[in-house]
Structure 1
Amino acid sequence: MMTAIDAVRSVHHRIFGSLERVADAWLLGLLARFAFAAVLWMYFLNSAQTKVGDGLFGFFSIQPGAYYQIAYPAVEAANGDIGAVPFFPWGLMVVLGTYAEFILPLLIVIGLFSRLAALGMIGFIAVQTFVDITVHQIGAEAVGTIFDRLPDAVIADQRLLWVVPLAVVVLKGPGLLSVDVILGRRRDNTASAMHARA
């Protein structure tokens, strides 16, 4: 005989099992990308814009501020002379970091190469965090700790929350409304049409 607890469990499993089956393939990635776009896209875009010049052609000109933000130890070793900073590895890091900050968030938002872009952003955030702590030497109160009673540390708490939607995209994919899914359907339709002709 079914007890009340068994009945509640059965109803719970039916309701949430159905929701999971319906939403699993398309909703989680879409919500994760939406959260990233709503909370972080403008942050990274504004940060990237501080590293390049103004206007269309300014986009192709890395500004000195980018070196101070990304490669401060090398700028300091060159006595503030950006021209004296060696391209390998420092200049390359500045160029790659600057354009990654433009390109990776855009790829995540539109859902193109989503899993690789999200993985790249996780790496970018890890490097950004390392630079903030070691190079810019932000204080312990800004670093904070996880599992404490304060949920607002700039590094430990915020950056962990930044990584969660990106991890969802890496593990679950971009969701239904994405360029990856559209291109995948087009490829599948082309393959089906070619198979039907054979």
Structure 2
Amino acid sequence: MNATSLPPSNAPLGDRLAAFGRRAAWHDALALIDRVAIAAIFWQSGRTKVDGWFHINDSAYELFRTEYRLPLLPPELAAQMAATAEHVLPLLLVLGLFTRLPALGLLGMTLVIQLFVYPSAWPTHLSWAGLLLYLLVHGGGRWSADGWLQRRRSRPAGSGLRGVDHHERH
């Protein structure tokens, strides 16, 4: 039995489910769902910090001055960094472009939020970390820009020519 085929219907249910779970399409679907789900959370948070296209609003600065109070970073810089990261990293995740990098960045943000901002919200942060760790370990899947780029790089030289018969090229 290979990863793309299922065992016979008389095989134990556990064997059939395990084989089904190894199929590549499951990873691709799960990675896409994870990318969109976690990106939406951070994107929505980022949108509360800006007015218009991308003007960081006064309430974002005030939030970092009075409620978040991160150590080592001035509130103005922290607000700008957070608003930028909450826009750029989710966009990269949705596209599946350099998937592991934005996943790592958002995992770092999650850790900072957990440790310094809302330590009692650990169940929420743990669920975010689970989504981000999956992407960090497994990548964005075939249904991502990363997957498309990988397929393009692994294509044999000359196979991308359109309208040319391969025999006529030589």
Q: Same fold (TM over 0.5)?
A: yes
Identify which of 127, 141, 145 aligns with 1:161: 127
Identify which of 144, 153, 170 aligns with 1:187: 153
- CA displacement at 1:100 relative to structure 2: 0.4
Which residues in structure 2 correspond to 1:31-180 (within 5 Å)? 31-38=30-37, 40-54=38-52, 56=53, 59=54, 61-72=55-66, 89-90=73-74, 91-133=76-118, 143=120, 155-180=121-146
2: distance between equivalents of 1:74 and 1:166?
22
1: distance between equivalents of 2:142 and 2:112?
30
Which one has the bigger helix percentage? 1
Per-residue Cα deviation, 1:140-195 (whole angstroms, up to 9, x for no partner): xxx1xxxxxxxxxxx12121111111111111111220010001111222xx317x
- CA displacement at 1:19 relative to structure 2: 2.1
Shift in alpha-carbon separation, 1:14–1:44, aligned structure 2, 3 A:
closer
- Letter matched to residue 148 of structure 2: I
1: distance between equivalents of 2:105 and 2:28?
16
Counting matched residue pairs gives: 148
2: distance between equivalents of 1:47 and 1:71?
17
- 2:114–2:122 CA contact under 8 A, matched in 1: no
- 1:34–1:109 CA contact under 8 A, matched in 2: no
- CA displacement at 1:74 relative to structure 2: 9.6
The residue number in structure 1 matching 2:163 is: none
1: distance between equivalents of 2:118 and 2:30?
30
- 1:32–1:166 CA contact under 8 A, matched in 2: no
Runs (4+) of structure 1 moved beyond 4 Å?
none
- Letter matched to residue 113 of structure 1: F
Larger radius of gyration: 1
- 2:49–2:57 CA contact under 8 A, matched in 1: yes
Percentage identity across paired residues of the two chains: 31
